[in-house]
Amino acid sequence: MSTDAATARLAFEVVKTACSNCNLRELCLPIGLPPEELRRLDELVSTRRRLKRGDHLYRAGQAFESIYAVRSGFFKTDVLIEDGRDQVTGFQMTGELLGLDGISSEIHTCNAIALEDSEVCAIPFSHLESLSRQIHTLQHHFHKVMSREIVRDHGVMMLLGTMRAEERLAAFLLNLSQRFKARGYSPAEFNLRMSRDEIGSYLGLKLETVSRAFSRFQEDGLLAVHQRKVRILNTAGLRKLMTHQRG
């Protein structure tokens, strides 16, 4: 990334947070809102917050007050139980929401950690609720977002419950690919922001198994991997591997 352009932008960037001039609004919460309602949304997002790679956005056990929209960067969420075991429950990228799990008990139930330098918009939840009482479309959209999270989780349960290692990794890569595509990036070539260990945790596999699956895919000409750089060479092959296989 060009550093002087970046610094220049930063220098002039207005600190004021506003949805109405956010270039992510097609991905984020205000999706499809008419302009006048969009303007009312500006009062919603109170603050932005910058995080460096490795920083916690919130931790399990902390009081829940806001949900967060990823403006830039990449996150993981994980839960851990007493005996030391933990599991990555999701990876969040630009335009996706974090913190929905905290609503139920007013306490965050997982950790959210930046996998690269990132920026988020904090959305105080009580504000969101009161505004969504006034704006039907916002309310409905928010419900859809929560529901989509439930559907996504069902997909992961399916993956963990019925798929074998290579199918899981294929499904994971195709999902990432499609999300990068939706954000205007290449669906075929991208950098993984997470380690083999984190992928394994998310997929219910050990890091060695993930590594072996990557090697296998490379041997089979499905993709080219170099460290965290992935290029998908045969999407159809991955997709077939994901669904088919097994009697």
- Choose from a second copy, DNA, none: what does 35 bind? Cβ within 5-8 Å by kind: none
Query: Which does residue 235 touch among DNA, a second copy, none (CB within 5 to 8 A, set by kind)?
Result: none
What residues numbered 61-90 form the site for a second copy, per CB under 8 A? 79, 81-83, 85-87, 89
Q: How far apart are CA 92 and CA 72, in angstroms?
A: 10
Cα torsion through 172, 178, 182, 184, rounded to 10: 100
Residue 154 binding: pick among DNA, a second copy, none (C-beta 5-8 Å cut-off by kind): a second copy
Within residues 102-141, the interface with a second copy by CB under 8 A covers 102-105, 109-110, 129, 132-134, 136, 139-140
For 26, 75, 99, 123, 146, the CA distances from 149, given in Å and listed in that order, are 18, 16, 11, 18, 5
Residues 213/144, Cβ–Cβ less than 8 Å: no
Positive/negative CA dihedral, 225, 232, 89, 140: positive
Handedness of CA 54, 60, 66, 69 (dihedral sign): positive
What is the H or E stretch that residue 147 is in? Answer: helix 136-162
Task: Select from DNA, a second copy, none the partner in contact with residue 195, using the beta carbon and a kind-dependent cut-off of 5 to 8 Å.
Answer: DNA
Q: How far is the CB of 214 from DNA (least distance, A)?
A: 5
CA dihedral 23, 186, 179, 201 (to 10 degrees): -130
The option from DNA, a second copy, none interacting with 146 (CB < 5 to 8 A, set by class) reads a second copy
d(CA 63, CA 174): 35
Q: Pick the binder of a second copy from 52, 144, 181, 228 (CB under 8 A).
A: 144
| Neighbour order of strands in the sheet with 47-51 | 47-51, 118-124, 66-72, 97-98
Q: How far is the CB of 8 from a second copy (least distance, A)?
A: 34
Span of 38-46, 93-101, 163-171, 232-240 interacting with DNA by CB under 7 A: 163-171
Site for a second copy in 159-178 (CB under 8 A): 160-162
Binding residue for DNA, selected from 9, 52, 133, 228, defined by CB under 7 A: 228
166 binds, among DNA, a second copy, none (CB under 5 to 8 A by kind): DNA
Q: Which residues of this chain interact with a second copy, rule CB under 8 A?
A: 79, 81-83, 85-87, 89, 100-105, 109-110, 129, 132-134, 136, 139-140, 143-151, 153-154, 156-158, 160-162, 201-204, 243-244, 246
Q: Which residues of this chain interact with DNA, rule CB under 7 A?
A: 164-166, 195-197, 204-212, 214-215, 225, 227-228, 246
